[in-house]
Structure 1
Amino acid sequence: MVNISSKKAYRTKRKARETIKGCDMEQYERLWDYAATVRQSNSDSYIAIQINRRSIEQRATFQRLFYDLGALKKGFLASCKPIIGLDGCFLKGPFGGQLLAALGKNGNDNMQKGLVHAIEELFPGAEHRFCHKHLFENFKAKFKNSELRELFWVTTSATNVDDFKRALNALEISQPQNGEDLTVASWLKRLSYHLWSRAYYGIAAKADILVNNLNESFNNCILKARDEPIMTLLEFFRRKLMQRLTLKKQGMEKYGGKFYPNIVEKLAKVTSVVNLQRRSYSCDAFQLTGIPCVHAIFAIQSMRMKVENYVDECYSKKAYLRAYAYSIGAVPSKDHWIDSGIQLLNLPFVKKQPGRPKKLRRRGPDEPRDPLRASKKGLTIYYKRCLKAGHNRELVKNLLIPNQSCTRYI
């Protein structure tokens, strides 16, 4: 047994980590070379590095980086739905920072108040939708009445304007205005209906999604890599996406159907004035998603026609394969990187906060610590021996009420 100090143990751990995952200083210094190598091995890729330079003689300091692989860009433009999910997460490394991700959505079946002005300025005319899960978290923080929660989801999920107005009116009746107190209806009305109401969504994207689950899944997928050095992090993304593109393409090539498996499953579940020429119905679900609703399916089947002929082309196998037709190229080891000839970069400036850095994100008030384990919060607990509510081992052992017994039932 060898006795070493805690400082020596930490230094040994840091050196081992640098050997396995790479040195932060070296990776920031060679960031220009890595970007040039990725562009060479992946055509049409775009990598932009923003720096802060005080003088020509001094080294520049890294600020931020934009990373876009050509295969992903071309696949999105070729066949993905015209909808992008935006979300961010914090990095856990010694320099902190945030990772902002923009993800597209294929047809095989997801934004927030702070982004409204940015979207309007940078993408004028683009449709902007809120994630209803985040909107609901803000709703729960302001309004504690649990009876209004169901009306909230009915209002935001209505697919046509008439149903939306009826649901919004029900909200106003359930919580009438009391002086200047803020109500749920008045809180929702402060936001444009096009941001949060499915009834006012555009039909070009062929998507009625209400939540940004796509980005949430991505954040969970990269969780173990968020404390890695910058190049190790970027290489994790590239390899993960390279494997995924190949896997999805091979899986769909083996599939024999005309449309995506998830879409066929949705059509199978609905076996039940429709305008089949315009592919629309008064409930608006048909034209919003591009998938025949139950009313449209009934009309199609009554005319002895195939339901598949009225599904939008974006859900077809051909469209799926167009999205995954491009592959991400391999990047050689650092010994074979291109010498960009650009001055080396300094590490980003970071203000070290007191205390141990946090690794876990802040959870919502109603979010369980372990999502796979059912919570007993709010349930009535019965003692297994007497099956009486509120009893436990200590209470039964020290009963204060005379003549009260605890009988074990067999």
Structure 2
Amino acid sequence: MESSHTPPFVRALYDAAQSGGHQVLKVIDSSGNDSWFRVNRGRVIEICHKASNDDAMLELLVRSSLMKGTVAETLKRKSLNKGKPIDELVVDSKIVSRSTMQQIKDSLNIEAVLEVSLDFDASVSEITDDALGGQVGSSCSLAIPHLLKEAMRRAGELPEIKQFIPADDMVFSKAHHHTGRNPKWEDLNLGHLERQVYFYVDGFRTVAEVANITCQPMHVVHRALVSLIKSRHIVHENGKAGSKTTQGSQGLLRAMSMLTVIVILVGLALSLIGSNSAAWSKSASEATLFNPFRALENKAADDRVAGAIRLYQLMFGERPENLNDLLTEDLVAPADAKHSAFFTSDGAYRFYDLEETSDLDEQHD
């Protein structure tokens, strides 16, 4: 196993887990951005990265319709004036609960680790606490074996994603817009996530915009779009399925490179499991952390159910009578329906103005 084929941060994480000691790893990624990660006893316990800082957290809350942009700016000013962490102000404002905030931060921290884990051109060095100059990062407790396992899964998906979706500013449209054959909604053999993404593909929204409107992390939307492209439900706006024909040898080389990473990550993860089975057993209980943005999905359930209700009305010309109407048509996931305030406990539909869902934001303007 040649270390040159291993992303630098993956190798550094593996070595840190093997040593079981305390380290602070500084990373300069391929774009020149620097970050650092504190590792202790096989776990990442503190992170300072642009994808997991306060701005990223607030941006995510705004994108997920949990607060307005004006509220985020107000909280920033209060944080500076009072010297109080922004996440505590968000919790104090009852925008999200304390446990939900921790889940959000964990999800952002995981994404930050995975981002640098798959960067072949990153440089990694060990630094001392003095070199941080008193800088404080986001606290967490992420088991390295699980991080390697998730990195392995993402690495396996990257070649196909890069093949079909090389850029997030690409625009896709429904295939029937080009063929003239408009299938019935109930005939679409799609899972709930694919169905949700399919609904918002309209020939105008970019991939990034679809991710924003569905409140889903980018890699989840990529996965759904690739599935829709392969099943010929959507096509690139120029009428060609994705960008498969534009990749050539570069895409093939990248695919081969990522396959090498998969093999390496499997070996590293299995090695850690074998050398520290107790730690792996503990980290296995944390599998739910690798459903990124789980807390935000629950909080954004109202928005998605509202969209499903409007879609049901377009399809059938009437409002749904109860929860089962939406579930039967596979317009909403059971988890979303369960957490949605649009239904009472017995599944009856509550008819009220959808703008009532914005009351919370107005309280914080």
Q: Which has the larger radius of gyration?
A: 1
More helix by share: 2
Q: Which has the higher contact order (CA 8 A, sep 6+)?
A: 1
TM-score normalised by structure 2 residue count: 0.26
